[in-house]
Structure 1
Amino acid sequence: MKREETVDYHIKSAWHAISRMYNQHAAQEGFTTAIGFVLININSKEGTPATKIAPMIGLETRSLTRMLKTMEEKGLVYKKPDPQDRRSVRIFLTEEGKEKKEISVRTIKEFNEQIREVIDESDLRTFFDVFEKVQMVIDQFSGAEANKPIFEL
């Protein structure tokens, strides 16, 4: 089987192209795609518990800790003790953080609008259905079965 015939090749190459595009837009605004994804997942009014952010975006806690430190240094976020649980902290957006979040949201919306101009609704529905099935296969092979080869190339 050639790599171009594998599902994961097409998923990976498309995601890398999307990621490069998002990074180019983010770099023009002075941040990264990863920071943009974190900003999007922080509640603009109430903040978000730091412990909730990593699982929402699939990051390791250590990576998020470093990223939040960088974001604090850049003036995008600040931390405050959680009023319900003093052992925990909530992450809040600064005004600049809110601006960068809006840029991130707008960039994602614009990209999705462009996709919807080129791909009709029934094809998109099929695309989403296929990806739900791909995710189901991934879920089935997670855990103990994750180490079993699915096929040989």
Structure 2
Amino acid sequence: MNKHKSIDHQLRATWQAVAKLYNEQAANHNSTMATAFVLLNIDKENGTPSTALGPLMGMEPTSLSRILKNMEDKGAICREKNPEDGRSVIIKLTDYGKEMRAVSKGHVIQFNETVAKNVSEKDLEGFFNVTSTINKLIADKDIYSEVSNKAV
């Protein structure tokens, strides 16, 4: 199969290029793309329960714990007991965390605006339709269903 016509290759190569771009920008602020992603997923006013962050971002608890510890050490977040559930913790942004969140948001907006200026609205709509369909096929477990496995 020609890798340039392989959907998964194009998705992976493009995402790796985007991740590299974001990591280069984050490095200018002594950060990482993963940290920026967490910052953008924490409610900037009320914080977010730690148990909700992993599923919200599709991240494994071990990876998230490491990132949160690093963010806490850098003073970007603080942990507070959840007043509604004493067993859980709410992750809140510090003032520094809010500043870094704004920087991260600015980079995401700039990326999206630049792509939108260089891709037609119709092509962008098609891109979103395709990615939505791929995600639905995966969620519905329709990629490697019993029927398609028998054909192999």
Q: TM-score, normalised by structure 1?
A: 0.91
Q: Percent identity of the aligned residues?
A: 35
Which whole-Å CA distance do the structure 1 matches of 2:111 and 2:79 have between them?
31
User: Residue in 2 aligned with 1:23?
Assistant: 23
User: Residue in 1 aligned with 2:62?
Assistant: 62
Q: CA deviation at 1:13?
A: 0.5
Q: CA deviation at 1:150?
A: 9.8
User: Residue in 1 aligned with 2:97?
Assistant: 97
Amino acid at match of 2:56: M
User: Residue in 2 aligned with 1:120?
Assistant: 120
Amino acid at match of 2:125: R
For residues 1-153 of structure 1, the aligned pairs below 5 Å read 1-141=1-141, 145=145
Listed one character per residue, the Cα deviations across residues 19-57 of structure 1 (whole Å, up to 9, x for unaligned) are 000000000011000000000011111111000001111
Which whole-Å CA distance do the structure 2 matches of 1:150 and 1:105 have between them?
46
Q: CA deviation at 1:58?
A: 0.9
Change in 2 beyond 3 A, CA 1:144/1:125: closer
Change in 2 beyond 3 A, CA 1:111/1:149: farther
Q: CA deviation at 1:132?
A: 1.2
Change in 2 beyond 3 A, CA 1:142/1:65: farther
Which whole-Å CA distance do the structure 2 matches of 1:6 and 1:144 have between them?
17
Amino acid at match of 1:46: N
Q: CA deviation at 1:151?
A: 8.8
Q: CA deviation at 1:139?
A: 2.1
Q: CA deviation at 1:145?
A: 4.0
Report how many residues are paired: 151
CA RMSD of aligned residues (A): 2.2
Which whole-Å CA distance do the structure 2 matches of 1:2 and 1:56 have between them?
35
Amino acid at match of 1:121: E
Amino acid at match of 2:28: Q
Change in 2 beyond 3 A, CA 1:27/1:84: same
Task: Note the residue ranges of structure 2 that are not aligned, 5 or more in a row.
Answer: none
Q: CA deviation at 1:2?
A: 2.0
Task: Note the residue ranges of structure 1 that are not aligned, 5 or more in a row.
Answer: none
Q: CA deviation at 1:143?
A: 10
Which whole-Å CA distance do the structure 1 matches of 2:64 and 2:10 have between them?
28
Which whole-Å CA distance do the structure 2 matches of 1:60 and 1:150 have between them?
32
